[in-house]
Amino acid sequence: MPQIPHNPLRRAGVLLHISSLPAGDFGAGAHHFVDFLAEIGASIWQTLPLNMPHDDGSPYQCLSAHAGNPAFISLENLVAENLLKGSDLTALQANRDELLDLAYVHYKQHHNAALQHEFVNFCHENVAWLGDFAVFLVLRNKFRRASWNTWAKAYKNKQPAMMASVKKRYATEIAVIKFTQFLFFRQWLTLKHYANERGIAMFGDIPIFVAFDSADVWAKPHLFKLDSNKCMKVVAGVPPDYFSETGQRWGNPHYNWQAMQANGFKWWLGRMRTQHRMFDLVRIDHFRGLEAAWEIPAGEDTAINGEWVLAPGGALLNVISRRFPTMHLVAEDLGVITKEVDALREQYQLPGMKILQFAFGGKDDNPYLPPNIDENSVVYTGTHDNDTSLGWYQQLDEQSKGHLHVVLGNQAPKMPQALVQLALETKANIAIIPMQDILGLDTSHRMNVPGTMGGNWQWCFDWAALKKEQTECIKDAIKQSNRANKWH
């Protein structure tokens, strides 16, 4: 291996969503994972979005751009804080909603002045979104989870008299929703503090678009491209690409950028404020949509018949950088990238993403080839949308496999360890390795297959699957590549 000079900016991290932890929450297992990161010399924990998903579980289609997923709240931690009893967990078993309701009842009964003050402050600090979200969730349950644009007129249009009536009639339910969000953020920030104390940064992810059936679109429909009946005129996606011959029709609404820009991007600044509080770094998913986005007529079944429509990304990033000067943003610049997208990213000096699984079998100017990766990059073996590196290698065509072998200088490499080491050896300041690749797992452990419905977002690991030699292998690779540097 070539000698790699020491550079304190060179860091390594691991990609693992909270749902992929054995317990799938912010409890003891999450803190143990922080300890594991510290042990191997990693200084970054990257997750997928932590927002509250729809029934399909996708963290990229959520009910709010702000609200957290209650499934990540550790019930055991609530027992430790006397908000639940151990017997409650046994009696109600897996009924998480009832247990969170009960935690609010216990909170009201215990009259813990410090906790009450903390909750009141939380509601005040998040007033811009929390109230609308709580009412939205109450109404969504009232209408049996039907999309908000099918609700009765007064509810669909958020009429003031209806809002006042709902807030009065469902005051307890609204309070429970707010308290549940309080618990989510409280536990997450406790975990973040634990990680930061150990020199580990939390790396979040913002889906560039929000779901149509969300509190955001219901509360502020004028900020989105909707028709007079508040249905989408165009939907988001991407044209045919590596992942799909017919493109990807995501179905999200497009922004009414003119309306957003008219009020100084207030909605976006609120969204970034939440993310800045939660994370040390934030990836903007589908960054190219800030320069131009693929707009598909809502009636189209695929993403083929769309068009690129310009967006005021420069103006938005200028406002964000002035409001949050210490915010570390990363641009997910995969897919069809133009010189204009590159120029926008470079103007704000945002690191781009490099995926080694996209590097082989083509020409020498492929931007994902290790020699072409520069310092201001975040390199991955693969992301949550890719196959595991072992699964990818096992299905790789012979030409690409031969090219990989030449780059590695090894005709019989041990995979996925060889690809992991290759990522760590690149010039990129940050290298992120999916947990599946550390564990050496195959295709059956893939997180997501883009463009498919069902069977995604369900992978989780077992600590028993992590062998001592795997821990030592990644620890040594991080050290040898001079990436064993703490975040701060």
Helices (H), 351-414: 389-394, 398-408
Mean pLDDT over residues 32-43, rounded?
98
pLDDT at 8: 85
pLDDT at 94: 64
pLDDT at 452: 83
pLDDT at 301 over 90: yes
Write down the catalytic residue from 295, 340, 342, 385: 385
Q: Which amino acid appears at position 337 of this protein? A: I
DSSP 39-104: HHT--EEE----B-B-TT--TTSBS-SS-B-GGGS-HHHHHHTTSS-HHHHHHHTT-HHHHHHHHH
Closest CA to 194 of 15, 325, 313, 27: 27
Mean pLDDT over residues 105-127, rounded?
95
What are 72-108's pLDDT values in tens digits?
999 999 999 999 999 999 887 768 999 999 999 999 9
pLDDT at 175: 98
> Is 285 one of the annotated active-site residues of the chain?
yes
pLDDT at 54 over 90: yes
> Is 346 one of the annotated active-site residues of the chain?
no
Mean pLDDT over residues 218-237, rounded?
97
What are 391-425's pLDDT values in tens digits?
999 999 999 999 999 999 999 999 999 999 999 99
pLDDT at 241: 78
Mean pLDDT over residues 319-337, rounded?
94
Write down the catalytic residue from 285, 333, 387, 425: 285
Mean pLDDT over residues 339-366, rounded?
96
pLDDT at 130 over 60: yes
Domain regions of the chain by residue span: 69-204
Closest CA to 424 of 4, 65, 50: 4
What are 131-149's pLDDT values in tens digits?
999 999 999 999 999 999 9
Query: In the chain, helix, strand, coil percent, each to 5?
Result: 45, 15, 40
> Is 333 one of the annotated active-site residues of the chain?
no
Write down the catalytic residue from 332, 333, 387, 437: 332
How far is the CA of 324 from the CAs of 267, 274, 317, 321, in angstroms? 15, 11, 10, 5
Strands 377-380 and 234-238: unpaired
Strands (E), 185-306: 201-207, 234-238, 248-253, 281-285, 292-297
pLDDT at 2: 56
Mean pLDDT over residues 452-458, rounded?
90
Which neighbouring-strand residues pair with 232? 226
pLDDT at 240: 86
Mean pLDDT over residues 268-285, rounded?
98
Q: How confident is the model at residue 217 (pLDDT cuts 50, 70, 90)?
A: very high
Q: How confident is the model at residue 342 (pLDDT cuts 50, 70, 90)?
A: very high
pLDDT at 1 over 70: no
CB neighbour class for 75 (10 Å; exposed up to 12, middle 13-18, buried from 19): buried
How far is the CA of 433 from the CAs of 329, 419, 436, in angstroms? 19, 10, 8
Mean pLDDT over residues 170-186, rounded?
98
Mean pLDDT over residues 447-468, rounded?
93
In this structure, how many other beta carbons lie within 10 angstroms of the beta carbon of residue 387?
20
